[in-house]
Every structure is written in C-alpha cells, then in structure tokens.
Amino acid sequence: MEINETIIIPVIIAFVELFKGLGLPRKYAALIALALGVLVGIFYLEPGNIKGGVLKGIIYGLSASGLYSGAKNTMQQMTNRKR
C-alpha cells in the first residue's frame, strides 16, 4: 500500500457522512461506502484492471464502513460507562 492510498478510507467515510448530512437514510450508509470504494478502486487504484479495482474497492469500502461502525460503537460504550 502506498502512502497516498492510506487516506482513501477516511475520505470514503467523509463522503458517506456528507451524504447522510444531505438526507441519506443511515441504513444505506454501508452500501454507499461500498459503492464509493468500488468506484475509487476502478477509477483511481486500478484503472487498467477492472477486476482488481473492484476487489480493492470492496476492501476499502468495507474497511471504511467497519472503521466508522467500530468507532461509533466504542464512543457509545464510553459514553454509557460515564453515566
């Protein structure tokens, strides 16, 4: 993984948050993260290799979705413990 690829996951999370702020229902957030990951994979990471781009995109999209979900759940647990 190159240094410039490390920012893809936070960028996907930021775009999903933007879409949620514009009215996207929360239940579609993971699907949007996956779709954005695939688009990034095809057009940025592996422009000449569609199969490789889709695979990398799925990995990045699911990673972004899981990272957000894990961080959110951790924050909720920490907030509940303080009460």
Q: What is the pLDDT of residues 13-41, one digit of tens each?
A: 999 999 999 999 988 999 999 999 999 99
Rounded to two decimals, what is the model's pTM? 0.80
Give the range with max mean pLDDT: 1-5, 48-52, 64-68, 79-83: 48-52
If pLDDT is split at 50, 70 and 90, which confidence band does 3 have? low
Residue 71 has pLDDT above 70, yes or no: yes
Closest C-alpha to 63, from 2, 4, 6: 6
Closest C-alpha to 33, from 52, 60, 2, 5: 60
Question: How is residue 1 annotated by DSSP?
Answer: -
At residue 32's C-alpha, the angle toward residues 22 and 59, to 5°, is 145
Q: What is the pLDDT of residues 41-61, one digit of tens each?
A: 999 999 999 999 999 999 999
Q: What tokens were used for 10?
A: 């936070």
